[in-house]
Structure 1
């Protein structure tokens, strides 16, 4: 097994209690897997025979282990690169780049490891039946992972600009491809902006998760599906004109609450307001 000293410049270690979480760049994956106990390494490579190429086009991937020494491993594809988002709105292209996306991606994957390892201490999320490609179990895990992102932002920065960036990233991913619904955590993140981040910084992650859920009105199956239909109708490649105002009219104001911050970031307040008014958001 390769020593920690040799890998000092190739990976980062964090801990859940006294269990390691190993973070590696994908370029160093083969060296980092040598940090795992032999049985874990064997099982990982047996389960993912094409590892680490299994990461595909994802920015990162996390693996959670049931082991007394290692809680998980995170592979980062581009740990220092920010993705540039492009969105066609009306008659123009708009672009957005999160200032510190690499950190948001890293914290999100850490959130998966923390959530899976502290699941007994975390609140239960409302269940939503799966339609339109929604994987219920995955959706709940993604929400908990993004709540971890929000908690880390508060602890380390004690302000919310990075949380706004995460909200924009999630909205833009949905505008581009509504199949990304499993990652759309905006209904859970947006209410957090009303909390003082300095207050959040005094809480641990399970405490914060419970507080966060008190701010969110549970979203039922029909409500979520209607929001997804509006994403599809208003932001798909073929949606060059506003849809009929009667189409899901009862859901448009709520939909506007979720997407307007991102539209303002992209278009500016004046243009975004005009754009949303034409669509009765």
Structure 2
């Protein structure tokens, strides 16, 4: 679950890449104003320039800046963390939460995390841990363990993390001032979805993320905090890839889809968690358990169960587990 540290004008979200072509750029001083640039894919060109502080050519893709609305984010590969953090302004380098030692402790076994800074020009720092790049997502249903192969997951992870920063920049305008940690997570995956639509002619990678989130939930109900499958499904059911590509600005896409999203309360989330635990635990099934929540869960899980089990077997399994399954 993401945790937010709100001290010394800093917030930390740790979670588990920009859909614009990524580029390396010279550091922009904290007091320097970056002119507003709407995020339009076909207007951003890849720029390769020298990186400061002695970074070798081989390190270029391990330390670079990428645009986030009116600001920039520094993207660091964990092996080059020390040299990468040196590209930040001293005012940020001197903050405890941006120290190399603290970042290494915070990232732990995560594949990525993002540090969010209050700065005139720097939106935050994204840390990518290539050693933890996921090649598959697994989950057990009954006595069978299923694996979902993952492709381009590093790119998807980066887009997700950039989504965190981009959505924070929209709070108080397109988005509400206050968002829950769960909302931050599914909104980051909506940014990922938009990026896939802008970069590709099909949405296979979005479906991969959808199935990955479902399978992670099946494997551990604690992953409910990152369960963006319901929100991804809503967008996928309303738009095809051509329609999504018409949203050349992320802000316009978010303005259109945000009102479609469910506003679940903590109690609602608790009920989903309880139903998931009961359904996928080793205890005897109770088909009537939380029957009022079953239709929503069935609707979201069905595409993933079909992908893993096949249509016939998945239908049989659903009918056995849920009294409301048809």
Q: TM-score, length-normalised on structure 2?
A: 0.75
Deviation at 1:17, TM superposition (A): 4.1
- 1:92-131 correspondence runs (5 A): 92-124=144-176
Q: Which residue of 2 aligns with 1:164?
A: 207
Higher helix share: 1
Of 245-254 and 101-110, deviating more is 245-254
Alpha carbons of structure 1 residues 55 and 196: separation in structure 2 relative to 1, 3 Å = same
* The one of 225, 234, 255 aligned to 2:297: 255
CA-based RMSD of the aligned residues comes to: 2.4
Deviation at 1:192, TM superposition (A): 0.9
Kept after mapping to 2: 8 A contact 1:82/1:100: no
Q: Which residue of 1 aligns with 2:75?
A: 23
Q: Which residue of 2 aligns with 1:197?
A: 241
Deviation at 1:47, TM superposition (A): 6.8
* The one of 184, 195, 202 aligned to 1:152: 195
- 1:126-141 correspondence runs (5 A): 137-141=180-184
Deviation at 1:255, TM superposition (A): 1.0
Kept after mapping to 2: 8 A contact 1:160/1:197: yes
Cα distance in structure 1, aligned partners of 2:201 and 2:260: 19
Cα distance in structure 2, aligned partners of 1:200 and 1:124: 23
Q: How many residues align?
A: 269
Q: Which runs of 4+ in 1 moved over 3 A?
A: 3-7, 44-49, 220-223
Cα distance in structure 2, aligned partners of 1:174 and 1:46: 31
* The one of 84, 90, 107 aligned to 2:142: 90
Deviation at 1:52, TM superposition (A): 2.1
Deviation at 1:107, TM superposition (A): 0.7
Q: Which residue of 2 aligns with 1:130?
A: none
Kept after mapping to 2: 8 A contact 1:81/1:101: yes
Q: Secondary structure at the match of 2:115?
A: strand
Alpha carbons of structure 1 residues 181 and 217: separation in structure 2 relative to 1, 3 Å = closer
Q: C-alpha deviations, 1:179-231, integer Å up to 9, x for none?
A: 12221122211111121222222322222122222333433444332222111
Kept after mapping to 1: 8 A contact 2:111/2:130: yes
Q: Secondary structure at the match of 1:99?
A: coil
Unaligned runs of 5+ in 1: 128-135
Kept after mapping to 1: 8 A contact 2:217/2:224: yes
Q: TM-score, length-normalised on structure 1?
A: 0.86
Cα distance in structure 1, aligned partners of 2:66 and 2:131: 16
Cα distance in structure 2, aligned partners of 1:211 and 1:21: 26
Unaligned runs of 5+ in 2: 1-51
